[in-house]
Structure 1
Amino acid sequence: MIPAGLMISAPASGTGKTTLMLGLLAAFRAQGVTVQPFKSGPDYIDPAFHTAASGRASFNIDSWSMEHERIAGMVGNAQGADLILAEGSMGLFDGVAIQGASGNGASADIAAHMGWPVVLVLDVSGAAQSVAATALGFKMMRPDVTLAGVVLNRVASPRHEALVRVGMEQAGITVLGVLPRRAEMALPERHLGLVQAGEQENLDEVLAEAGAFVREHVDLDALRAAAMGARASVTPPAKIVPPGQRIALAQDNAFAFVYPHLLAGWRAAGAEVLPFSPLQNEAPDDSADICWLPGGYPELHAGTLAAADTFRSGLQRFAETRAVHGECGGYMALGAGLIDKEGTRHEMAGLLGLETSFAKRKFHLGYRRATLEAAIPGAEAGAHLRGHEFHYATITSEPDTALARITDSNDLTVPETGTYRRTEGGGQVSGTFFHLIAAGA
C-alpha cells in the first residue's frame, strides 16, 4: 500500500527546506514512523542526507525529465512506508520555460500530479504580518496545488511569532510549526551545494539534533494528518535497461553523484553493481562488463587520483576491451589532465584527450537533452536521453569525437557535446558533462 504524502517546499532556495526535511525525517523515525523520502528535481546531494535521516533510500522525481509513468514507478518505492515526504527544489513554482516530459521541472508539478499538499517553509526574518501575503499568493497561484500550511523559519522572538500568526490567521492559513532562529543548525556547503553526506563526520549527531529541534517546534501530528493519498496511479518500481550485466561503479567521495533510481532500476533489471574506490587506489573489477564513473568532486581529490597508479593502470587495461563511461567528474577523470583552482595540473587517466580547469571557473547549470551520435553503455546510437548538468569546470582541450547533439531546456544547442574514443582492442571510452536521468525524447 502506498501511503499519503506531502511536498516540503518554499518560495525560494535558502529558506530552510532541507533543515526542515531532515528534521522531520529524523523526528518521525524516532517515533517509529517509516517515512519514504523523495527529492523533486535533479539534485543529487540531498537524497543521501534523506537516506541517512530516514533509513530508506531516497529517489529523485522530476517532471521535466521523467514521464508520468516513470514518476509512478518512482513513487512505487514507497510501498510499506507510513508516510511520504518529498523535498522540493528552488521555489515551489520555479521551473524552466519550455515543458519537458511531464512538466517544466517545478515541484508544483509533482505536488499537483500526485495530489500531495504542500508544506511551505517561510523565512520570516525581516517581516511580520506581510509574510501572510506571500503565503496567500502561493495558496492561490495554482488551483491544482493544495497548501496544507506553513512552517515559519528564523523567528526572532515570541513577539515576532505572535505578529506573524496574526497575519496568517487573517489569511486563513494554518501554521504547522515555528522554528526559532538558530544559526548552528545550518549544514556546511561548497560550490555544488551541501557537503556530501558521506563527508559529514558527525552526521548522526546533526540529524539527531535536527530531529529534536523539529519535534519541539513543529506539530508532527497535525502535519501528518494533512498528508493526502496519491491522486495518480502508482506502479511497482520500474526496471531500467542497465549499461551491462556486471557494472564496475566508481563510488567514493570523488565519485558519488549517481542517481539512486538508476542503481535501483539497473538492479531490478538483474544487473550486478560492483563498487570500487579510485581514492583507495582500487581498479575496476576485472569480471565486470562495463565501467561507469559518476560525477562528484575530482577537483578536490586531483592529487590523490593522479597518484593512484593501480586505479589508473587498471582502468586503462579495462578500457582496452570493454566500455568505460564517465559523467561530469567521471568524464574529467577519464581525460588527460585536470587543473585545480590553484593552477596546478594533475594527470588523469588519459583515456580521452579532455583537459579541464578550475583555475578559471565557469558556471554550467541546467537540464540537457541529448541525441547520441555513438552508442554508450545502455543506449544505442540515435537514442534520446534527458539529464542535468551542474559544474564549474572550463574545457581547455577536447580533441576527441563528439558523442552527442545536446540542447538545453530552451532547445538551444549546448557546445559541451561529450566525446568518445575507441580503443585498439575493441573497447570504447565515452563521457558527458551531463548526468543521465532518463531515456526519452
Structure 2
Amino acid sequence: MAAGLVISAPASGVGKTTLTLALARAWRHRGLNVQCFKSGPDYIDPAFHAAATGRASVNVDSWAMDRGAISHLVGRGADADVVLAEGSMGLFDGVAAPGVSGTGATADIAEMLGWPVVLVIDPSGQAQTAAAIAAGLRDYRPGVRLAGVVLNRVASPRHEDLVRRALNDAGIAVFGALPRHAEISLPKRHLGLVQAEEQAEIGKLIDEAARFVAEHVDLDAVLRSAASWTPQPAANGLNVTPPGQRIALARDAAFSFVYPHMLEAWRGAGAEISTFSPLSDEAPDASADVCWLPGGYPELHAGRIAANARFRSGLRAFAETRPVHGECGGYMVLGTALTDADGVRHEMTGLLGLETSFAKRRMHLGYRLATLAAPMPGHRPSARLRGHEFHYSTILAQPDTPLAVVHDATGAVIAETGSQRGHATGTFFHLIAEDR
C-alpha cells in the first residue's frame, strides 16, 4: 500500500519542484520506491521527476482527462512506497469553466485521490500573514485536506520563529523551514525549467537539494502525514488512438515536448515508434507510415534546421505519400519560415504556409478544445481534442485550410486554428486527450 501526498503552494515560483525532487531523492536514499506525477500540462517537470526517482512520471489533468484516465495513470504508483503529485501554479488555480473532471486545478487531483497537501510557503516580506494564507487555503475547499507546510526562503531564525508561532496558533503543522541564503534552485528558461536531459549535472543538483531539505525538513513527519492509498481499478484507460502503426518521431533538443502518457498509450495500442534527429540532419524512417514532429525549442536551433538539407528533403519526400503532423514548434518547422528572437528569418520545410516570428513576442497560454474540420493522424473529422498551448511566437501568416475550430477554456474562438495541406497537418496546441 502506497502513501500519497500532493505538493502545492499558494502560487508559482515558490519552490514546489525543488521540494518534490528533494523529497523524492531523500526517500529514495532511504530505500523507498517513489513515484511522481505532475498535475497539469507540463513537459519539463516529469523528466526531472524521472531523474530523481528512476521511475517515469506522467501528467494528470482534470480539465483534459476524465476520472477513469486519471485513475489509470495514477495506478502506475501501485507498487511504490510513496507517491508524490506535484501541483502547478497555486493550489486552487484552474480555468473558470470546468472541463472533463475539473478545472485543471491541483486541488481537483488532491480531492479526487484523497491525498493530503503539503504546502510550500514563501514568507518573504511577511510573518504572521503567512499563517493567514495557509489557513485560508486549508479552509477554502472542504474536500481538500492540508497536511502541513514547508517554509521556503526564511530570512532569519527570528523570522522563522514568528511564522512558526502563527502557524502553530492556527493549528497548522510546520514540517521544516529552508533558509533563504542557502536556497537550492534549478536553471531557468523562458518556457520553464531547462529540460532534465540537458543537465549533465542534474543528479548532483538533486542530491544537493535532497541533502539541504533533509537538514531542514522532518522527512519522517512528512511521510507520516501521507494518506494510505490503494489504486482503484480504472473502468477505462486513456482515450488515445495512435497516429499510425509505425510512427517516425522527431526527438532531440529542438523536438522534445511529448507527453509521456501519449507515447505510452501509442505503444500500449501496439504502435511502434522510431525516433530521428532533425538537428543531426536525419530524415524520418522510410518504413514508417506517419511522421510526428512534437514541440520544443526550434527557435533556438532554427539556423541548423534550415541548413539540414537531408532532413528537409527527407521530410518533404515522406509527406508526398504519408501523413506528417507537427505540434507547436513542430508545426512551425512544417511552415514556410521562422524568424528567431534576433530578427533573422530562417527557411523551414515549406510543407505548410505558416510563418512565425519570435522577434515579435506574444505569449499564447492556455487549454484548447479543438473540433477537427479535417482528419489528422489518428483522429477523424469532427473529433474533439483537448490540449494545451504555450509559446511566445507571433503568427505572420497562416494561409492554409484551417485544421480545426479551436476554443480556449472560456469557450472563446481563437485564431490559432492549425493548418492542413496535402498530407501535412499542424496545430499550435499539444494534444492531451480526445473526448470520448
Residues 72-124 of structure 1: per-residue CA shift (max 9 Å, x gap)? 11111113111110000000000110010000110001100110100000001
- The corresponding residue for 1:51 is 50
SS at match of 2:227: coil
Q: Indicate whether 1:437 and 2:432 are aligned.
A: yes
The residue number in structure 2 matching 1:206 is: 205
Bigger CA drift: 226-235 or 288-297?
Answer: 226-235
Identity %: 63
In the other structure, the counterpart of 2:263 is: 263
2:320 match: secondary structure = helix
Letter of the aligned partner of 1:380 in structure 2?
Answer: R
Q: 2:25 & 2:280 partners in 1: Cα distance?
A: 32
- Superposed counterparts of 1:254-293, under 5 Å: 254-293=254-293
Residue 365 of structure 1 corresponds to 365
Q: Distance in 2 between matches of 1:67 and 1:380?
A: 21
More off after superposition, 144-153 vs 195-204 = 195-204
Distance 1:83 1:161 in 2: 28
Specify the alignment match of 2:250 in structure 1. 250
User: What residue number does 1:387 align with?
Assistant: 387
Contact 1:65 1:101 in 2 (8 A): yes
Gaps of 5+ in 1: 423-427
The corresponding residue for 1:224 is 223
Q: State the secondary structure of the residue aligned to 2:71.
A: helix
* SS in structure 1 of the partner of residue 128 of structure 2: coil
Q: Which amino acid aligns with 1:141?
A: Y
Measure the CA separation in 2 of the matches of 1:140 and 1:83. Answer: 26
- Aligned counterparts of 2:209 and 2:59: Cα–Cα separation in 1: 22
Work out the CA distance in 1 between the residues paired with 2:431 and 2:238. Answer: 16
Distance 1:238-1:98 versus aligned 2 partners, 3 A rule: closer
Counterpart amino acid of residue 252 in structure 2: D
**Contact preservation (8 Å) 1:75, 1:234:** no
Number of residue pairs the alignment of both structures matches: 435
Report the CA distance between 1:421 and its aligned residue.
0.7
How far apart are the structure 1 equivalents of 2:232 and 2:200?
A: 40
Query: What's the CA shift for 1:130?
Result: 2.2
Distance 1:183 1:391, change over 3 A: farther
Cα shift at 1:239: 6.9
Match in the other structure for 1:91 = 90
Measured in 2, the distance between the counterparts of 1:76 and 1:241 equals 20
For residue 34 of structure 2, what is the aligned residue in structure 1? 35
Whether the 8 Å contact between 1:246 and 1:271 is mirrored in structure 2 is: yes
8 Å CA contact 1:77, 1:237 repeated in 2: no
Q: Is the 8 A contact 1:248 1:276 kept in 2?
A: yes
Give the superposition deviation at 1:266: 0.8
CA distance in 2, matches of 1:288, 1:174: 55
Query: Aligned runs of 1:170-209 on 2, under 5 Å?
Result: 170-182=169-181, 185-209=184-208
What is the CA-CA distance between 1:157 and the residue it aligns to? 1.8
Instruction: Tell me, in whole angstroms, the C-alpha distance in 2 between the residues paired with 1:22 and 1:146.
Output: 22
Query: Whole-Å Cα distance in 1 between the matches of residues 309 and 120 of structure 2?
Result: 48
C-alpha displacement of 1:23: 0.9
Alpha-carbon contact 1:240-1:268 (below 8 Å) kept: no
| Equivalent residue runs for 1:128-147 within 5 Å | 128-147=127-146
Matched with 1:68 is 67
Q: Say whether the 8 Å CA contact 1:114–1:231 is kept in structure 2.
A: no
Q: Which residue of 1 aligns with 2:331?
A: 331
Instruction: Give me the whole-angstrom Cα distance separating, in 2, the residues matched to 1:279 and 1:25.
Output: 33
Partner of 1:425: none
How many Å apart are 1:230 and its aligned residue? 4.2
Q: Is the 8 A contact 2:385 2:433 kept in 1?
A: yes
Counterparts of residues 410-425 of structure 1 (less than 5 Å): 410-422=410-422
- Aligned 8 A contact 2:153 2:183 in 1: no
Query: Separation in 2 of the partners of 1:5 and 1:182?
Result: 31
Determine helix, strand or coil for the equivalent of 1:321: coil
CA contact 1:370–1:405 (8 Å) conserved in 2: yes
CA distance in 1, matches of 2:228, 2:272: 34
Between the aligned partners of 1:350 and 1:105, the Cα distance in structure 2 is 36
Residue 224 of structure 1: how far off its partner (Å): 1.3
In 1: Cα distance, 2:165 partner to 2:400 partner: 63
Aligned AA (1:177): G
Distance 1:230 1:310 in 2: 52
Q: 1:122 corresponds to which residue?
A: 121
Moved more, 389-398 or 74-83: 74-83
Aligned pair in 2 of structure 1 residues 391, 29: CA closer, same or farther (>3 Å)? same
TM-score of the superposition, structure 1-length normalised? Answer: 0.96
Q: Conserved in 2, the CA contact under 8 Å of 1:239 and 1:266?
A: no
Assess if the C-alpha contact under 8 Å between 1:93 and 1:106 holds in 2.
yes
Aligned mates of 1:319, 1:64 — CA distance in 2? 33
Query: Structure 1's 340 and 183: CA in aligned 2 closer, same or farther, altered over 3 A?
Result: farther
From the superposition, tell whether residues 431 and 100 of structure 1 become closer, same or farther in structure 2 (CA, over 3 Å).
same
For 1:321, the aligned partner's letter is T
Counterpart Cα distance in 1 of 2:231 and 2:413: 34
Q: How far apart, in 1, do the equivalents of 2:278 and 2:36 lie?
A: 30
Aligned CA RMSD, in angstroms, stands at 1.4
Q: What is the letter of the counterpart of residue 426 of structure 2?
A: G
2:295 pairs with 1:300 = no
* Counterpart-to-counterpart distance in 2, 1:53 and 1:249: 26
**Which string of whole-angstrom CA distances, capped at 9 and with x for unpartnered residues, describes residues 310-358 of structure 1?**
1111111111111100000000011111000111111111111111101
CA distance in 2 between counterparts of 1:284 and 1:66 reads 31
1:246 and 1:340, CA in 2 relative to 1: closer, same or farther beyond 3 A?
Answer: same
Asked if 2 retains the 8 angstrom alpha-carbon contact of 1:113 and 1:232, the reply is: no
Q: Per the alignment, do residues 364 and 183 of structure 1 end up closer, same or farther by CA in structure 2, a change over 3 Å counting?
A: farther
